[in-house]
Structure 1
């Protein structure tokens, strides 16, 4: 099932916060909460799933936004964007210690925030290595530039989810919800029970990029999530209301996914 990217907004100016939240929701993001102090921010961060944090430096209370970000990141690693009117050297040096994805000076526009979120998700896209639990960038590639993000299709992975560029924003998709992928010339169609997403890459590139073992190639034009298979024969696999052919050269690879007694 496709999910919206979840944003936690920490901002002490109520009007600014509400306006930004409304703009983000119009763009297809989900604002999971708005906080104006460190304590509330930490509570919301613990209670709700969060994909990205927008953090004002100057907030209510003894702890400022940088101190608050430090506390949040101790619990789990997520992309962080600072929104602030403070751009002095001391503030910037403190902020850099938390490794933010972006630092936006006020006044900002929703367009600038949207671009910053897109870059933040791209540059912080990570996957968890089961053996070590270490977070690493996908494909070990350097951070994406704005030009790279606009010139080609982008698919990113964070743990058990992928983020797919769709209608100018990233949408969140759980890997387990994928039914199958279908090659279409230089494109591939990623299919779930509720959605079809067209990506500008090959089927081989898709399989390599997301590194999701249940997604298995069964034909030159198809890869299927074996966890979604209802039944299969020598010639085809049956999903819910969908049959896909098994190519002769892919049959052995497909059968090797199962343990026969």
Structure 2
């Protein structure tokens, strides 16, 4: 019988290593340990764990609760919070993500093991059979109800930050997520590059590779099938090269 595969997100390296060793000793497989929410979201799609165990306090821009919210929207992987935080505000925030367990440090091995078993069992019972395609309700085209058309709002921890479209210089696919690079920041958003492309005005932005969108006016040079924007080299896909060159004034 295959071992249950776990992925751990913990910003304290010593705690992460000790937890991984403990879990392996009681029969689980730990596929990886990471220290940030951004890394966890990438690793989930590489390792396909049966369960994620994550601390609420993490490195990077995403805390554990924000990471879990993205995880819940994009996958069916169950997750357990482990944290030293037990205040009402934190618990209320955590509850919004529907975690499969909430462990307050310190906890013993027996509590951890029982929480993992119950979480995996409950996750399996939550899964519902998919509706056959022939019975699915056709998707409705969303109305254009956006208040602003020159900006996006990006979630950063517990707030939404306004990002002007004119500040975006490029966007890069990260599996089912993407990085948005502005003049001063890089934002990780829970949107695919394809979805982001539909939000960006085609007169200003262009897909130049399966993994990249660029602002045309941000291009500083093109060299050896690469676009240069600052110190970033962005590859040009063969299927996009002609379209890109046609939109540039070349002498």
TM-score by length of 1: 0.48
- Per the TM alignment, residue 75 of structure 1 is displaced from its structure 2 partner at its CA by 2.1
Which stretches of structure 1, 4 residues or more, deviate above 2 A after TM superposition? Answer: 130-133
Q: Which residue number in structure 1 is paired with residue 27 of structure 2?
A: 28
Partner of residue 188, structure 2 = none
Contact 1:36/1:59 (<8 A) preserved: yes
Give the whole-Å Cα distance in 2 for the aligned partners of 1:58 and 1:25: 23
Cα contact 1:20–1:110 (8 A) shared by 2: no
State the Cα distance separating 1:80 from its structure 2 match: 1.3
Does the 8 Å contact 1:51/1:78 carry over to 2? Answer: yes
Residues 132, 89 of structure 1: alpha-carbon distance in 2 compared, 3 angstrom cutoff: farther
Secondary structure at 2:19 match in 1: helix
Residue 65 of structure 1 corresponds to 64
Counterparts of residues 77-226 of structure 1 (less than 5 Å): 77-126=76-125, 127-132=127-132
CA distance in 1, matches of 2:70, 2:104: 22
Query: Aligned with 1:92: secondary structure?
Result: helix
Aligned-residue RMSD, C-alpha: 1.5
More relative contact order, 1 or 2 (CA 8 Å, 6+ apart): 1
Cα distance in 2 between the residues matched to 1:108 and 1:5: 20
Asked if structure 2 preserves the Cα contact closer than 8 Å seen for 1:38 and 1:63, the reply is: yes
Q: Distance in 2 between matches of 1:79 and 1:102?
A: 9
Partner of 2:36: 37
Question: Unpaired runs of 5+ in structure 1?
Answer: 134-261
Contact 1:55–1:82, Cα closer than 8 Å, also in 2 = yes
Shift of 1:62: 2.0
Count of matched residue pairs: 132
SS of residue in 1 equivalent to 2:106: coil
TM-score by length of 2: 0.50
